[in-house]
Amino acid sequence: MDAFTKLTGIAAPLPMANVDTDKIIPARFLKTIARTGLGKSLFANLRYKEDGSENPDFVLNQEPYRHAEILIAHENFGCGSSREHAPWALLDFGIRCVIAPDFADIFHNNSFKNGILPVRLPRAVCDQLMEDAKLGANARLTVDLERQVVVRPNGEEIPFEIDPLRRYLLLNGLDDIGQTLQQVTAIDGFEAKQRAAQPWLYR
């Protein structure tokens, strides 16, 4: 997983609430056994017409948003399925940060595990950032995880909250399986105790 420290880039405005995971990546694209290559299918139902050609009205088909690294949306982003293909598709497209008033829990978890930073900011702030984003290539946003601020094109800094452990893992690009395996003695101990109390759970 790539570390996330500070990102300055183009932000795409997606003024929709309840952007569900079937919108982010429809189920027919989940038949992959790889983590990469899903970027072309990101938002497929909104991004392409029935004949497969691009829908020019969709923001990611417009310049400069084809090169967006940040996405700004409305409430409850990522609701629905647990598919990690949703963050994989965002990442493969080039998006490393999603800013929204709130996120569905599983998507929120999955993002961190793939080096994508989900930033929660109040709706009014998201709307303001969306106005900034509409100014295009000259209006880049900076997301600074070290300092926990989003910097608007006019230099104004907006602080955001983040779980300290998640921030640490993301800043250092750490895989949490390695971390957990350092606790293997504690896991062994738990299993020994549970096996004694509830032997039927072990075969």
The residues that touch other proteins, with contacts defined as CB under 8 A, are 15-18, 20, 22-23, 26-28, 30-35, 45, 50, 74-76, 79-84, 87, 102, 104-106, 109-110, 113-114, 163-165, 176-177, 179-181, 183-184, 186-187, 190-191, 194, 198-203
Q: C-beta of 165: minimal distance to other proteins in Å?
A: 5
- C-alpha to C-alpha distance for 36 and 54, rounded to whole angstroms: 21
Mutual orientation of helices 105-112 and 164-172 as an angle, nearest 10°? 40
Minimum CB distance to other proteins, residue 152 (Å): 22
Closest CB to other proteins among residues 26, 153: 26
SS3 76: coil
Distance in Å, CB of 143 to other proteins, minimum: 22
Q: What is the DSSP letter of 97?
A: E
Q: Which is nearer to other proteins, 65 or 77 (CB)?
A: 77
Compute the least distance from the CB of residue 62 to other proteins, in Å: 19
CA distances from 74 to 17, 41, 94 (A): 4, 21, 20
Angle CA 89–68–5, to nearest 5: 85
